Amino acid sequence: MTTPQRALDLLPAVAGGSLVGTVSRVLARSPRLEAVLERENFHGRRVSLRGGLAMAAGTTAVGLLAARPVAQGEGARVAQAAALGAAVATTAAGAAGLVDDLDQGAHDGEAPAKGLKGHLGALARGRVTTGALKILVIGAGSAVAGAVMTAADPRPHRGLGGLVDAGVRTVAIASWANVHNLLDLRPGRALKAAGLLAAPMALTQARRAPASAALAGGTLACCAAGLREDLAEQTMLGDTGANTVGALAGASLASHPSPVLRLTSACAGTALVLASEKISFSGVIARTPALAALDALGRRED
């Protein structure tokens, strides 16, 4: 591989990670904006949602840049579709998350809905919660992304087969966006999860699935760029950041050429979302020594 080609391959990750850090630093210079973005975390510390805005900017940039010229013909078309799909999915996830973060439950009334069942139940009764809005917007963005990826697949998908393939890709993106939002209850947890999910793809699939590897590499870079401030409890992802990094990780899975991997990813993400209705992820992590150690790694102890 030539040096210029290698530089192009690294462009999405370098740009995405750099943008996360740059946006966070720029936002921190505005006291007025910091006051709007200030929130209280689970420790009672005042932290800034600029981490989520920075993550949204970085992950969307990864999607926009991931269509670098890795191949000619079908390979280039697949890369362009994966990049466009990722950009659409992260933009939708970030927009929906930002509405929820800024609303802070005010729109939901005195009895805010909780969980997937609660938000869908409220929607069935004619009440649109910010959580229901997230489901609709992230679902729509993921559906567009899935359809774009299916349309560019070199293997023809027609009729029902095409709908099923697009549906699997949609679920893979939307479910993992939701899973990372559910995990974002402790500093660094969602970013560590996204990094662990993306690392195998980024490190082993560059030849077989360059588009997926580029998105996964971008996910890793964005996580690395935002992790220090998140662990130090200076910033938090909020729904904006957790949804977008999850959507990007999901897009890397949804754009992979293996139908088995795509289906497995969609099923695993869905299973975790449904499991969250019955069990506490924080409780499971606390009861599992290896997970608890990983969860606490790098976190403030005071």
In a domain, 95, yes or no: yes
In a domain, 180, yes or no: yes
In a domain, 237, yes or no: yes
Three-state DSSP class for residue 232: coil
In a domain, 302, yes or no: no
Count of domains in the chain?
1
* φ, ψ for residue 38, nearest 5 deg: -75, 135
Mean pLDDT (whole number) for 235-246? 96
List the domain range (segments joined by +) for residue 14.
3-296
Question: pLDDT digits over 91-127, tens only?
Answer: 999 999 999 998 876 555 555 666 666 656 666 666 6
Question: pLDDT digits over 265-295, tens only?
Answer: 999 999 999 999 899 999 999 999 999 999 9
In a domain, 291, yes or no: yes
Question: pLDDT digits over 177-226, tens only?
Answer: 999 999 999 999 999 999 999 999 999 888 888 899 999 999 999 999 99
C-alpha distance from residue 35 to each of 5, 32, 101, 186, 227 (Å)? 43, 5, 14, 22, 22
pLDDT at 69 over 50: no
pLDDT-derived band at 159, boundaries 50, 70, 90: confident
Question: pLDDT digits over 26-66, tens only?
Answer: 999 999 999 999 998 888 889 999 999 999 999 999 999 98
pTM of the model: 0.91
pLDDT at 3 over 60: no
- DSSP designation for 148: H
* Distance, CA of 44 to CA of 187 (rounded, Å): 13
CA 296 to chain centre: 21
Angle of helix 159-183 relative to helix 130-152, nearest 10 degrees, comes to 140
In a domain, 172, yes or no: yes
In a domain, 301, yes or no: no
Angle of helix 50-65 relative to helix 74-103, nearest 10 degrees, comes to 160
In a domain, 27, yes or no: yes
